């Protein structure tokens, strides 16, 4: 294997250490950041994500307020809870785990979260602020990808970045972040998707390729440029009868082959995933500081 591994776990741990130190200093001054985590229903994957976030809160010193609602919670009941949390001064960030059961309109819930507690960075106003380069909460996965690139020495500045996938959670906000006239951004960004003709022509001219399309091992070695940087955002379960749990996790990149040609690559798991959670923590600390004008 030729490519250097971009170790998201290691970098997330560095940020974790920084946050622990910052929170300790805030504690001494009498401030404790608080995050409310809301899970509706029993989806095992969602449940696992929320527990990881809650565990991380404990580990770094963020006060966690966990809420578990039944799968037949109505939209009004959830909106009522969000409204209560809006007025709770101990809660600086509100995380409602998505997806929500189908009787609840997700966008209505996202819109109800106050902009200044929207640590997931999904509120339209925060998206608008991001676009115009105003201070805002950046969505955690794209913010984590930017941080991962910068801290591993592959700043997107002045580079050709090609993003495959235009999801609201990754592709679109990441494009907007990396286009900005700002340090760690300033990239020339192309967004490709299912309607793109001759996809490989685009991916092959990427200095930095971001795969966020949700198709297992979709990006193959012949689609990338020699010595490019490849960030794999995909988390796909593929059947693996030999494994105890019956599946294994693979990314959107054919890791083995691409790692022989790329200069650096982020693995799945252990690449973007750990960054997403730590960015949520960072947003929560930021929300607390903003609330207290620190």
Tell me, yes or no, if 180 is annotated catalytic: no
Between 49 and 127, name the residue whose CB sits nearer to a second copy.
Answer: 127
| Ranges within 193-212 binding a second copy (CB under 8 A) | 193, 195-197, 201-202, 205
Question: Which of 158/242 has CB closer to a second copy?
Answer: 158
192: which 2 tokens? 């490709």
Residue 64 or 167 with smaller CB distance to a second copy: 167
Binding-site size, a second copy (CB under 8 A) = 38
Q: What is the DSSP string of 221-251?
A: GGGS-TT-EEEE---EEEE-TTSTTSEEEE-
Examine residue 189 and tell whether it contacts a second copy (CB under 8 A).
yes
- Encoded one letter per residue, x for contact with a second copy by CB under 8 A and - for no contact, window 119-148 reads ----xxxxxxx-xxxx--------------
Catalytic residue status for 4: no
The region of 1-9, 168-176, 245-253, 277-285 touching a second copy under the rule CB under 8 A is 168-176
For residue 12, the 8-state DSSP code is H
Q: Which stretch binds a second copy (CB under 8 A): 49-57, 142-150, 188-196, 256-264?
A: 188-196
Q: Which span (2-10, 55-63, 183-191, 269-277) binds a second copy, by CB under 8 A? A: 183-191
Query: What mask of x and - would describe binding to a second copy in positions 54 to 93, judged by CB under 8 A?
Result: ----------------------------------------
Q: How far apart are CA 8 and CA 184, in angstroms?
A: 17
Q: What are the Cα distances from residue 210, in Å, to 9, 102, 107, 142, 163? A: 18, 30, 26, 10, 5
Min dist CB 161 to a second copy, Å, is 10
Q: Are strands 247-250 and 236-239 parallel, antiparallel or unpaired?
A: antiparallel
**Residues 6+ positions from 10 with CB-CB distance below 8 Å:** none
Peptide bond into 203 cis (omega under 30): no
For 142-201, the DSSP string reads HHHHHHHHHHTT---TT-EEEEE---TTTHHHHHHHHHSSSTT---EEEEE-TT-SSHHH
Catalytic residue, chosen from 53, 117, 159, 286, is 53
CA 248 – CA 245 distance, rounded (Å): 8
28 binds a second copy (CB under 8 A): no
Instruction: Say what the alpha-carbon torsion angle 130, 131, 133, 137 is, to the nearest 10 degrees.
Output: 0
> Quick check: is 97 catalytic?
yes
As given in the structure block, the two tokens for residue 239 are 């059947």
Q: Looking at beta carbons only, is 125 or 220 nearer to a second copy?
A: 125
Q: Of the listed 118, 120, 207, 232, which one is catalytic?
A: 120
Stretch of residues binding a second copy (CB under 8 A), selected from 89-97, 160-168, 211-219, 259-267: 160-168
Strand order from edge to edge, sheet including 63-69: 63-69, 34-40, 93-96
Positions that interact with a second copy (CB under 8 A): 107, 123-129, 131-134, 157-158, 160, 166, 168, 172-173, 175-176, 179-181, 186-193, 195-197, 201-202, 205
Catalytic residues: 53, 97, 120
């Amino acid at each position: 294997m030729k490519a250097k591994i971009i170790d998201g776990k290691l970098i997330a741990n560095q940020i974790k250490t920084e946050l622990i130190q910052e929170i300790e200093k805030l504690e001494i001054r009498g401030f404790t950041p608080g995050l409310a985590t809301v899970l509706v229903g029993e989806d095992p994957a969602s449940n696992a994500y929320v527990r990881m976030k809650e565990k991380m809160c404990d580990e770094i010193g963020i006060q966690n307020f966990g809420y578990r609602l039944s799968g037949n919670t109505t939209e009004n009941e959830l909106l009522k809870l969000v409204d209560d949390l809006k007025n709770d001064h101990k809660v600086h960030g509100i995380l409602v785990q998505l997806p929500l059961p189908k009787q609840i309109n997700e966008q209505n819930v996202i819109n109800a979260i106050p902009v200044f507690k929207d640590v997931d960075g999904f509120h339209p106003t925060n998206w608008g602020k991001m676009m115009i380069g105003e201070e805002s909460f950046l969505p955690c996965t794209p913010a984590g990808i930017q941080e991962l690139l910068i801290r591993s020495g592959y700043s997107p500045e002045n580079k050709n970045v090609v993003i495959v996938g235009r999801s609201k959670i990754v592709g679109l906000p990441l494009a907007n972040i990396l286009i900005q006239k700002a340090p760690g951004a300033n990239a020339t960004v192309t967004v490709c998707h299912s309607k793109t003709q001759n996809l490989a022509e685009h991916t092959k001219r990427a200095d930095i390729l971001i795969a966020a399309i949700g198709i297992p091992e979709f990006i193959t070695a012949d689609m990338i440029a020699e010595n490019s940087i490849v960030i794999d955002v995909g988390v796909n379960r593929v059947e693996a009868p030999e494994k105890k749990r019956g599946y294994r996790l693979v990314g959107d990149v054919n890791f083995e082959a691409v790692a022989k040609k790329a200069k650096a690559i982020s693995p799945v798991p252990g690449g973007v995933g750990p960054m997403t959670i730590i960015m949520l923590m960072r947003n929560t600390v930021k929300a607390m500081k903003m609330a207290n004008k620190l």
